[in-house]
Amino acid sequence: MSRRHTVPPPQPGFPPHVFLSSRMTHRPKKLLLLRLLPNAWVTTHGPRRERTLYLSFDDGPHPVHTPVLLDLLAEHDARATFFMIGAHAERHPELVQRIVEAGHTLGNHSYSHPQFGTLALSAQLAEVDRTDRLLTAADGRQRHSFRPPRGVLPRPMLLHFIRNRRRIAYWSYDSLDYSRLPALELTRFAHDRPPRDGDIILMHDDGDTAQQMLRSLLPAWKDAGYRFEALPPEPPARKRGDAANARRGDDAAARRGERGR
């Protein structure tokens, strides 16, 4: 996901909260459809522990906004998952290390945040693999849950991840913090329509909207009895023989995809 989504502006003559309430939702239809898939393939909710929410942040780390957000999370004893753009992680390794040392989990959000729908499978996987290597240097984990840029999920890539028993990490509750609407209105909207047990909350740490919202939301959610945990880490890769079979399946899927264009 990215703050670079296109969201229509408020309608002239209507206050932002009227537009927000009538035209936007924390749970768009696409997410409802994805929930029909097994959670081991496409993660649309966290472990269903009582009164637990899973904060997630895309598009960082950012040298200005991420440190402020980390301080805020520490203040509320909250853990989260940071889906990082590899190029940003490469530029700010000290922030990546700080995130790990604070007990948060790293996620993969590609290396350069490209338009995945325009790339061949090999180029998509190169983006994922390059970022995994950068994140491994910080947390020692071989693989990391992957969240595709802008939520674009091409079928050959999905099949590759299924064959390799690797999760595509989506979300179940969209904070809308990329919408360019005022943080106050977005916060009010979230208070009116709060998350539920096990929700994965989509936010971004390449701007200050998320931290503005969370200054109000975190205390309110804590008062409602919620705690905040990171998503479980990605399991290790399969054995070499299994991976080779998966690659052959990927090649066949890619050929079918090319014929279908």
| Catalytic residue numbers, as ranges | 58, 204
Q: Which two tokens stand for residue 218?
A: 């975190």
Q: Which strand (E) or helix (H) includes residue 242?
A: helix 240-260
Do 199 and 45 contact (CB within 8 A), yes or no? yes
Distance from C-alpha of 151 to C-alpha of 146, rounded to nearest angstrom:
10
User: Residue 132, exposed/middle/buried by CB under 10 A (0-12, 13-18, 19+)?
Assistant: buried
Which residues sit opposite 53 in a β-bridge? 228
Q: Which two tokens stand for residue 154?
A: 């091409």
Q: Which two tokens stand for residue 151?
A: 């939520």
Place of tokens 């390794």: 93
Residues 6 or more apart from 223 whose CB is under 8 A from it?
A: none
Residues 6 or more apart from 183 whose CB is under 8 A from it?
A: 177, 208, 209, 212, 213
Do 237 and 243 contact (CB within 8 A), yes or no? yes
Beta strands in 85-185 (DSSP E): 105-108, 168-169, 173-174
Do 111 and 131 contact (CB within 8 A), yes or no? yes
The length of the chain in residues reads 261
